[in-house]
Chain A
Amino acid sequence: MSDERVAELSDVTRTYGGVAVLEDVSVDVRPGVTAVIGPNGSGKSTLLGVLSGAVEPTDGQSRYVGPDTSRPIGYLPQRVPFREEFTARETLAFYVRLVAADAADPEDVADPEEALDRVGLADAADRRVGALSGGMRRLLGIAQATVGEPPLVVLDEPASGLDPGTRERAFRTATDASGSGTAVVVSSHDLELVDEHADRVVVLDRGRVVAAGPLERLCSEHGVDDVSGLYRAVVAGDATGEDDGNGGDGGDGEEPTAVHVTGVSER
């Protein structure tokens, strides 16, 4: 696996209504699976938005520095956004055509059938997006994010709100895309899945990066066995230390504090 950077965030700050959602975030993205974890409202979606180009930083910059290609970045927002009146096949066909229109060899771009097959939705190709289950929509979203084989794939909570089986399938499908030197950046609250699939971890708390790097190294540095331990060490520990008496974390160390910004943060 190449260790060349694919993208970098430098001193990125993003505020909404004067409230900082991300503050001075600097992260390098390399091939493999990078999981972004943190409490609700810690800025995960904003970070992924900045990385994908969907969110403009207030300060600092986000740069794609990977190989030159017709579609450098694939993106799936937290809420799968496709038009409900189209079928799964039509939805992917639209995106495949956009990439093929710009590709040096359009034949190289996977057709909608291949893309649907890859995520296990071949049988649902003719179903309208509005009639797909939440899990199927997310799989369709993952298929979309990988159309044109972008070197950087950004997936915002691809497994959230799904049953355990579908969650595992969605996450595995998402991380499978990292096979050929692709960098997959994925946010998640499911620490078990992160533990199982992630090569690197970025831990956010209150808009700041509190830990980032290869998972094994971070676990070793903090003397923990897994991502859950790391999370408790760097987030919940911080929260306890900084409790300002406004309710805080409830004292059990399992539910970290969170900054919620209405209309910005996911809950």
Chain B
Amino acid sequence: MRGGIGGRTAVATVFRRELATVLRTPGYGVLAVGLLALLGGIVAVGGGADTGFVPAVVDLLLVTEVVVPLVAFVIGYRALLTDAETGELAVIRTYPVSVGGYVVGVVLARGLAFLAIVVVPYALLGVAVWATAAPDTTIFATHSGIDSPLLYLRFLGLLVPFGAAYLSLATAVSAVASSRRGAVAVGVLVLAVAVLGGDLAILRSLATGTAPSTIPGLLAFTPNGAFRGLVFQGVIGVAFTPEGGFVDVGRALGSLLVWTVGGVAVSSATLAYGDRLEALLEGVRARVDE
């Protein structure tokens, strides 16, 4: 393996192989169906699809903040671990594909799987809302106070960077972990910290005297805070609070991008330098033992 991302053909080759593996994993289909049932149930409990797009988003937001990271981890926690565990990564390393190219190929394929497993059920739910909701939900919003499919499309669009951030984190976990059990343990820890830790930290900072006006800025730093802020800013708030101010939009989008790129960078660095670092530490240990 070489440094950098390398040739597009090599990335496409890794992508195709990973996608074929995902397509041959029946569990992912079950996951998508289960997610659809869960989301449908939540919307039904919240008053049904006929209440409109924005009410559906309000009903789904909290569960989305938990389910999307969870599904992203299910899709990604073994993405790089599988080849490392079986020893096939050692074989792939002898081929002209860079570490970055290999990681990007795997992440892109898993990302496409994420779109199919997560975004498609949400989109189907949107179709159900469109088919059953009151007539004014078919109007495309041009000003506040109107429910609209466009707002739901925005919500769908925001699922993509939110899921990409968590998928990238999950991939990093799969690169760092040395076993399936370890990946599950680290994954649960990272999920708990990422999903809850950010909000708890903000609450704690408020309790210790941080000004409330800083919340929109602080919120953007965690994936969940950024996503929630963007949904309030671009979907829910459009209908009710046109002035916005829920989150710093640029910072929130930048934060999701940084989490995504950061996860890929950690994965690549671990694959590229992990063995070298381990050997270096072994060397130090051997010298200390002498």
Q: State whether the Cβ of B209 lies closer than 8 Å to any Cβ in chain A.
A: no
Q: Is B93 an interface residue (CB 8 A)?
A: yes
B13 touches A58 (CB 8 A): no
A202 CB–B CB distance under 8 Å = no
Please give, as numbers and ranges, the residues of chain B lying within 8 Å of A74 by CB-CB distance. Answer: 94
Q: Are B95 and A81 in contact (CB-based, < 8 A)? A: no
Do residues B94 and A101 form an inter-chain contact, with CB atoms below 8 A?
A: no
Beta-carbon contact of B283 and A59 below 8 Å: yes
Q: Are B20 and A75 in contact, CB atoms less than 8 angstroms apart?
A: no
Within 8 A of B (CB), among A55-70: 55-59, 70
- The answer to whether A81 and B87 touch across the interface, beta carbons within 8 angstroms, is yes
Q: Which residues of A contact B142 (CB under 8 A)?
A: none
Residues of chain B contacted by A71 (CB below 8 angstroms): 94-96
Q: Which residues of A contact B289 (CB under 8 A)?
A: 18
User: Does A90 touch B at the CB level, under 8 Å?
Assistant: yes
B282, CB-defined interface residue at 8 Å: yes
Asked if A58 and B91 make an inter-chain contact with CB atoms under 8 angstroms apart, the answer reads no
A101 and B13 in contact, given A76-B91, A81-B86 (Cβ under 8 angstroms): yes
**Mask: chain A, 28-61; 1 = CB below 8 Å from B; 0 = not:** 0000000000000000000001001111111100
**Segment at the A interface, from B41-49, B57-65, B271-279:** B271-279
Secondary structure of the B contact surface, majority rule:
helix
Shortest beta-carbon distance from A29 to chain B in Å:
15
Q: Is B236 an interface residue (CB 8 A)?
A: no
Can you name 14 extra interface pairs (CB under 8 A) apart from A58-B279, A101-B7? A18-B282, A52-B90, A52-B94, A53-B94, A56-B275, A57-B279, A70-B96, A71-B94, A77-B91, A79-B86, A81-B87, A85-B21, A101-B96, A102-B96
Interfacial chain B residues near A169, Cβ < 8 Å: none
Interface size on B, residues (CB 8 A): 31
The answer, yes or no, to whether A98 is at the interface (CB within 8 Å) is yes
Known: A56-B278, A57-B279. A81 touches B10 (CB 8 A): no
* Residues in B257-280 with C-beta less than 8 Å from chain A: 275-276, 278-279
CA A13 to CA B17, docked complex, whole Å: 36
Q: Which residue of B lies closest to A80 (CB)?
A: B87
Are B87 and A79 in contact, with the CB atoms below 8 A? yes
Closest 3 CB pairs of A and B: A101-B9, A102-B96, A54-B90
**B285 within 8 Å of A by Cβ?**
yes
Find chain A residues with CB under 8 A from B195 CB: none
B88 within 8 A of partner (CB): yes
Q: How many A-B pairs with Cβ below 8 Å?
A: 93
Chain A residues with Cβ below 8 Å from B211 are: none
Select one of B20, B97, B276, B283 contacting A98, CB under 8 A: B97
Bound Cα distance from A71 to B1, whole angstroms: 10
B207 within 8 Å of A (CB atoms): no
A53 near B93 (CB under 8 angstroms)?
yes
| Known A58-B283, A95-B95, A98-B95: A49·B90 in contact at CB below 8 Å | yes
Q: Does B181 contact A (CB under 8 A)?
A: no
CB < 8 Å neighbour of B90 from A75, A82, A98: A75
Chain A residues within 8 Å of B143, by CB: none
CB <8 Å contact, B91 and A81: yes
**Mask of A70-109 contacts with B, CB within 8 angstroms, 1/0:** 1101111101011101100010001101111110000000
Supply 27 A–B pairs (Cβ within 8 Å), ascending by A: A13-B286, A15-B283, A49-B90, A52-B90, A53-B94, A54-B93, A56-B276, A57-B279, A59-B283, A70-B96, A71-B96, A75-B94, A77-B91, A79-B86, A82-B86, A85-B21, A85-B24, A86-B20, A94-B16, A95-B95, A98-B92, A98-B95, A99-B95, A101-B9, A102-B10, A102-B96, A150-B94
